Amino acid sequence: MDNLQYKNAPKQAIILRTDLKMRKGKMVSQGAHASLKVFTDDMKIEQGVNSIKRVLNFESGCPMSAWLDGIYKKVVLAIDSEEGLLELHQHAIKAGLPTSLIQDLGLTEFNEPTYTAVAIGPWWPDEVDALTGTLKLL
């Protein structure tokens, strides 16, 4: 893959709250939840007699499909408030981008359910960057 192909390849932005002062392992797990949830939210469940089949069905050329076939381009970004995280998630929904919001159950590090992460994409980089371009790398 050349530089131009990489630049234009679909990407996913994972945004983590820094105001929570999560341990590194907790941050990694919350980001992983967000990254995967984008796909599990789109899965269709087919119930068989003795099985459950989870199916992803993308149109040819869809950025999510191209991402799965490609290089898994990701960027991890920081945001410093719950309000900012929720607002970013809503902007992604309004823009029609695949997105997932993670709410930790509060069983290990927090005393209550807490919004910790958002994933946006995988989608075309210019559309992801339009929403996340002002955020700093984590």
Residue 65: is its pLDDT beyond 70? yes
The residues with which 18 forms a beta bridge, in sequence order, are none
**Any idea where the domains of the chain sit in the sequence?**
11-137
Q: What are 68-89's pLDDT values in tens digits?
A: 888 889 999 999 999 999 999 9
Q: What are 89-137's pLDDT values in tens digits?
A: 999 999 999 999 999 999 888 989 999 999 999 999 999 999 999 999 9
Query: Given this model, what pLDDT does residue 101 score?
Result: 98
Residue 25, CB-side half-sphere exposure with 13 Å CA sphere:
2
Query: Given this model, what pLDDT does residue 4 score?
Result: 73
Query: Which is nearest to 75 in space by CA: 2, 134, 3?
Result: 134
Q: What are 34-60's pLDDT values in tens digits?
A: 999 999 998 899 888 899 998 888 888
Mean pLDDT value across residues 16-24: 96
Fold of 11-137: Bit1 (3.40.1490)
Q: Where are the alpha helices (DSSP H) in 70-132?
A: 82-95, 125-132
Cα distances from 112 to residues 18, 21, 104, 115, in angstroms, run 17, 15, 8, 10
